[in-house]
């Protein structure tokens, strides 16, 4: 077909000359590039068969690298080979990538071209954990160094779409001269993509590229120790409370003596020498003996009675909050005050989206239906917000009734460790509006998402005052220490801190103990030790066990934790 077009153009040129027009007319689709090659201005897929790079923003995580191999891009050509996949993620046309924040695909077109549209084809399959990203960013460049950001194309499907379904993210341009094209793909759980097309024409015609000026990052930096953002907290410890089917049945409870090595740093004889944690985050132990679970999808959905049960446990006189108040009071009578203040953070359990009969929380005699599949997104959101507001009010009511002399209610914590957009399109709205309500009461709202969990990078927009990210390094045997480097860098660049994790096995397993110490060492290297408020996850009473141990190796875990918190 091309030779026919050329002949027609040449005939047209001859007619113009014969009519006294210009002495020479260039065929509209023909041009020589800088290397003297003949080129066409016909719109084609410029990326077809072109090389590209596929990169993570941080070192490749060794734990997940092996998982990705089943959906790899071994020849580095799958995304520009012109082959599209079906709606089955097992189709060999797909490249699959898991977690690790995002992926960046950079295509070298090999020579200048005029780009009019960039397309990314992706798969969504909710039951298999494959999600459409909330948005894809596209950029173009002449030299691969200075880039023009064309903007972001948003996902057009409801986040709760079961799938499998395909979508093309398309960004149009006016025909700018470029050589390089970049596509940035957020990855939450799995992302599957099969083809990138760059539609345009070869040659140097088109608009001149003007690079986008560097934009400041307003979120960059850790949440500072003792800051208002952190509710004045320097170092926080997670305190679980809940039912236990084994003996002792009250194991997941804390007495005054249990709190002693957390409020204060104690010596081998359990005598207080200094203050230790100033933040105490109370969290419900997820499984309940009746089969219900505070998690978003595990077990039976919790209801009002379960939320009340957790509050009943917290506000006991001899356990939890009552015990903590007495432990702090005793510490202050023993040690100089040194402006010590014990700040309490109370968890808001997750109002589950599969609960049709939560219970009446607003006194109208009608049980709240939170089931989004039965009442729809807007009604489910309204009813869930009733629940969180009722819960916050109940906390303040009980707190005032107790009148704790040595505790401050500083913050609330969101239980679910990811924004559950696969369950509700409006889950982030519940979080945001709950945060607004918490702040109206004078407290802050905090969150600890797991490793690159959904919502980790837009925690602030979702209504949290502060967030820390879980590295989950201690629990993934195949992860290497650069996992901690990745989390520290990602956290700093996005305004989060880093949760520090330890379990009882740290006391007896040398490998896991070394892993725990690596959290502390990386805190020094990446400065979250000095700059960020922290939270320490423990397996119920790990640090209590370490403090009481007569084994020097186990006791060292407690001592080194204290040294870390004191900046030594």
User: Rounded distance, CA 497 to CA 483, Å?
Assistant: 15
* Per-residue pLDDT band at 27 (split at 50, 70, 90): very low
- Mean pLDDT of all residues in 558-563: 98
| pLDDT tens digits along 116-165 | 999 999 999 999 999 999 999 999 999 999 999 999 999 999 999 999 99
Residue 206's pLDDT is what? 87
pLDDT band at 218 (very low <50, low <70, confident <90, very high): confident
Cα 398-403-407 angle, rounded to 5 deg? 100
Beta 135-141 vs 165-186: how paired, if at all? antiparallel
Say whether pLDDT at 24 is over 60: no
Sign of CA dihedral 562, 521, 238, 550: negative
Paired strand residues for 107: 52, 181
Is 50 exceeded by the pLDDT of residue 466? yes
Distance from the first to the final alpha carbon of the chain: 76
**3-class SS letters over 314-347:** HCCCCCHHHHHHHHHHHHHHHCCCCCCCEEEEEE
CB atoms within 10 A of CB 58: 19
pLDDT tens digits for range 351-367: 999 999 999 999 999 99
Considering the chain, what percentage of its residues have pLDDT values greater than 90? 88
Cα Dmax for the chain: 109
Pairing of strands 407-414, 147-154: unpaired
- Does 3 have pLDDT greater than 90? no
pLDDT for residue 14 is more than 80 = no
**Six-digit token string for 178:** 């470029």
541 close to 239: Cβ distance less than 8 angstroms: no
pLDDT digits (tens, 9 = 90+) for 190-214: 999 999 999 999 987 889 999 999 8
Model confidence, pTM: 0.91
Number of DSSP helices (H) and strands (E) in the chain, helices first: 14, 22
pLDDT value at position 40? 59
Position 217 scores a pLDDT of 87
Q: Is the bond leading into 164 cis (omega within 30 degrees of zero)?
A: yes
Is the pLDDT assigned to residue 26 strictly greater than 60? no
DSSP state letter for 425: T
Q: What is the DSSP letter of 532?
A: B
pLDDT in tens, 383-436: 999 999 999 999 999 999 999 999 999 999 999 999 999 999 999 999 999 999
Query: pLDDT tens-digit profile of 254-273?
Result: 999 999 999 999 999 999 99
Query: Is pLDDT at 442 greater than 90 in this prediction?
Result: yes
pLDDT of 45 > 70? The answer is: yes
Q: How far apart are CA 399 and CA 226, in angstroms?
A: 23
**Using one digit for the tens of pLDDT, what is the confidence trace for 310-330?**
999 999 999 999 999 999 999
């Amino acid at each position: 077909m091309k030779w026919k077009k050329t002949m027609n153009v040449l005939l047209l040129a001859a007619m113009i000359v014969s009519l006294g027009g210009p002495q020479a007319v260039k065929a509209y689709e023909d041009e020589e590039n800088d290397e003297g090659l003949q080129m066409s201005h016909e719109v084609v897929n410029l990326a077809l068969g072109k090389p590209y790079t596929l990169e993570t923003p941080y070192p490749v995580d060794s734990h997940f690298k092996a998982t990705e191999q089943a959906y790899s891009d071994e020849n580095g050509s799958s995304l520009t080979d012109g082959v599209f996949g079906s709606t089955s993620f097992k189709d060999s046309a797909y490249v699959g990538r898991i977690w690790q924040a995002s992926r960046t695909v950079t295509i070298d077109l090999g020579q200048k071209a005029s780009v009019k549209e960039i397309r990314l084809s992706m798969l969504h399959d909710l039951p298999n954990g494959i999600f459409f990203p909330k948005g894809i960013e596209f950029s173009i460049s002449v030299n691969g160094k200075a880039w023009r950001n064309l903007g972001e194309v948003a996902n057009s499907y409801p986040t709760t779409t079961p799938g499998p379904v395909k979508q093309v993210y398309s960004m149009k341009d006016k025909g700018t001269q470029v050589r390089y094209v970049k596509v940035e793909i957020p990855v939450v759980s799995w992302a599957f993509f099969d083809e990138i097309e760059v539609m345009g024409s070869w040659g140097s015609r088109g608009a001149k590229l003007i690079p986008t000026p560097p934009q400041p990052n307003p979120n960059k930096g850790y949440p500072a120790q003792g800051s208002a953002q952190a509710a004045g907290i320097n170092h926080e410890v997670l305190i679980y409370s809940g039912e236990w089917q084994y003996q002792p049945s009250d194991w997941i409870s804390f007495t005054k003596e249990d709190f002693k090595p957390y409020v204060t740093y104690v010596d081998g004889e359990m005598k207080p020498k200094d203050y230790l944690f100033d933040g105490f985050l109370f969290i419900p132990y997820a499984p309940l003996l009746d089969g219900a679970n505070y998690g978003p999808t595990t077990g039976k959905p919790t209801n009002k009675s379960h939320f009340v049960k957790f509050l009943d446990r917290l506000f006991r006189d001899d356990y939890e909050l009552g015990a903590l108040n007495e432990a702090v009071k005793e510490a202050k009578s023993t040690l100089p005050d040194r402006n010590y203040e014990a700040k309490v953070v109370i968890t808001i359990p997750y109002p589950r989206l599969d609960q049709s009969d939560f219970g009446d929380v607003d006194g109208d005699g009608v049980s709240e239906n939170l089931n989004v599949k039965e009442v729809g997104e807007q009604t489910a959101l309204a009813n869930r917000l009733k629940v969180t507001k009722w819960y916050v009010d109940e906390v303040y009511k009980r707190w005032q009734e107790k009148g704790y002399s040595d505790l401050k209610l500083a913050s609330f914590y969101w239980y679910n460790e990811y924004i559950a957009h696969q369950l509700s399109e409006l889950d982030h709205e519940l979080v945001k509006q709950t945060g607004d309500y918490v702040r109206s009461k004078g407290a802050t709202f905090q969150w600890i998402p797991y490793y690159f969990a959904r919502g980790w990078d837009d925690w602030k927009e979702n209504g949290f005052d502060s967030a820390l990210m879980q590295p989950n390094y201690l629990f993934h045997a195949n992860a290497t220490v650069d996992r901690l480097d990745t989390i520290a860098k990602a956290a700093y660049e996005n305004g989060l801190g880093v949760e520090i994790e330890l379990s009882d096995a740290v006391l007896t397993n040398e490998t896991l103990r070394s892993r725990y110490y690596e959290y502390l060492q990386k805190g020094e290297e990446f400065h979250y030790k000095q700059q960020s408020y922290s939270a320490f996850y423990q397996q119920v009473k790990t640090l209590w066990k370490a403090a009481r141990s007569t084994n020097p190796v186990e006791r060292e875990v407690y001592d080194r934790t204290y040294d870390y918190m004191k900046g030594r």
